[in-house]
A and B are shown apart, each in its own frame.
Chain A
């Protein structure tokens, strides 16, 4: 088929172009958002509340809202993810059950997020009566990022070398002691990585929270469990659809820059951690 050296070189060249195209996308996206959003950013923008339905003022409460939902979701999700993962790695023997759990995890991971929003609202908002609130949003996001965190934790704990556990058992440690003093500390960086990825995923989510946790204006900080918040994502959403006011659009880009920067920092953080502390077994 390809004995011709020119054909070989041409094909490789073509594939390289495709690769370059794909690899340049993150930079192109970041660059575009940066260039469009920087004009909007100044200290006032970051620290004041919005006015004129976003055409003026800043994004202070939106940023707080996003952070609240992100951190809340991670805080709720982490213990559950950790417990579920530890159960699979420390206490479960049966292969079929492990397969089923894994299947459920992957399935949950691919559920369209808008469905999380709909069902989450029905379950938390209506059934448990938390309404349209930051609490509802947090809980929905927590369920949504559960697989993300579980997968990361699973990878971290499963790559723990056997000799660590054997040392523990030789000393006669109980399950709890083994978890407390060997498994968790040794997979610490994996846990942190998982958390960062979970936070990033929660921060990137709009569909699940747009009608379950947020309102567009008139909100500062929630003063109770059942108050809604305003977020960067939904702020951008509304502003983006306002064709008329160029200032509103610039502010949308500014908010987008803040959001993108936030998410990228989290992902870069997780990448840096994985680079400096590779999974034990890989060394």
Chain B
């Protein structure tokens, strides 16, 4: 590195930028913690465990937490076969040119704005779900789960593919030279070695699914209740981001209501951060 004079202006300007960038992350968390204090003080632990939410009266986050978890889990189950299948095919069986094409398609998919998914959901998917399941209303956990699955597919696919490519070529060559078929090589030699990376990819995908607002908001049904029975995916429900999106504008004036929303944000933040940190750990991006 360089041994430059301590008072180079460029150095300090760059340092300032780095500070701003770093502070953004830290300040965010602080604000969340501080601003949610009122609602926790008013409601205590029942904020997290309560199931009723009436603005101005009572605030319970459980239905939203439940909805977030359900919809995220469903998205994962639906996306995983496609994401991992494509990752295996792309990493192991495609030429480098084809690989570039696939990765480009994935990047495009990842860039589709959430509102477009929302539009597709509202206009087409809800109708499809409603008609094929014989429901009154197509705004359900299932609908939101399907949309989310498409949204997190590129994330999981790309990162898993990277993980597979990281496995050294020698592994494959040794297996082939012993007469193992390509498929067996992939499943028995390459995939086990790439497993941490794939797990990381899944965690990051989950984090992304959990944080998605607009698409989910439009199709999940907006009902602040845990469905009866709890595994009824064809029922309307509510996720945390969806709730935030719906009520943020209303709550702007009111102190407790706003604090409740910030409290929800804190819970969401902690869940997403947990998933993201775990994911990055597995991907070895942080030690």
Residues of A in contact with B (beta carbons under 8 Å apart): 1-3, 7-8, 11-12, 14-19, 21-23, 25-26, 29, 32-33, 36, 79-84, 86-88, 90-93, 99-108, 110-115, 117-119, 121-123, 143, 146, 150, 169, 174-176, 179, 200-201, 203-207, 210-211, 233, 236-237, 240-241, 249, 252-253, 256, 259-260, 263-264, 266-268, 271, 275
- A259-B116 CB under 8 A given contacts A90-B14, A102-B285: yes
Q: How far is the CA of A260 from the CA of B116 in the complex (A)?
A: 8
Q: Please tell me if B133 contacts chain A, counting CB pairs below 8 Å.
A: no
User: Interface size bucket, B side?
Assistant: 35 or more
Nearest CB in chain A: distance from B209 CB, A: 10
Complex alpha-carbon distance, A118 and B212, angstroms = 14
> Is the CB–CB distance between A259 and B115 below 8 Å?
yes
Q: How far is the CB of B245 from chain A (nearest CB, A)?
A: 6
In the assembled complex, B280 has its CB within 8 A of some CB on chain A: yes
What are the residues of chain B within 8 A of A264 when measuring CB–CB? 108, 111
B276 touches A110 (CB 8 A): yes
Q: Which residues of B contact A104 (CB under 8 A)?
A: 21-22, 25-26
A25 touches B241 (CB 8 A): no
Given A22-B82, A26-B112, A146-B24, answer yes or no on A83-B269 (Cβ-Cβ < 8 Å). Answer: no
Q: Is A240 in contact with B245, judged by CB distance below 8 angstroms? A: no
Residue B204 at the A interface, CB < 8 A? yes
CA distance A275 to B97 in the complex (A): 11
Q: Is the interface of B mostly helix, strand, loop or mixed?
A: helix
- Chain A residues contacting B184 (CB-CB under 8 Å) are 1-2, 8
Shortest Cβ gap from B17 to chain A (Å): 3
Q: Is B31 part of the binding interface, using a Cβ–Cβ cutoff of 8 Å? A: yes
Which of chain A's residues have a CB closer than 8 A to the CB of B211?
Answer: 110-115
Pairs of residues from A and B, 8 with the lowest C-beta to C-beta distance, nearest first:
A83-B17, A112-B211, A18-B85, A204-B113, A87-B14, A207-B213, A110-B276, A87-B18
A19-B122 in contact (CB<8A)? no
Assess whether B265 is in contact with A118, with CB atoms less than 8 Å apart: yes
Give Cα distance in the complex from A268 to B101, angstroms: 12
Q: Which of B2, B28, B182 contacts A111 (CB 8 A)?
A: B28
Q: How far is the CA of A113 from the CA of B17 in the complex (A)?
A: 22
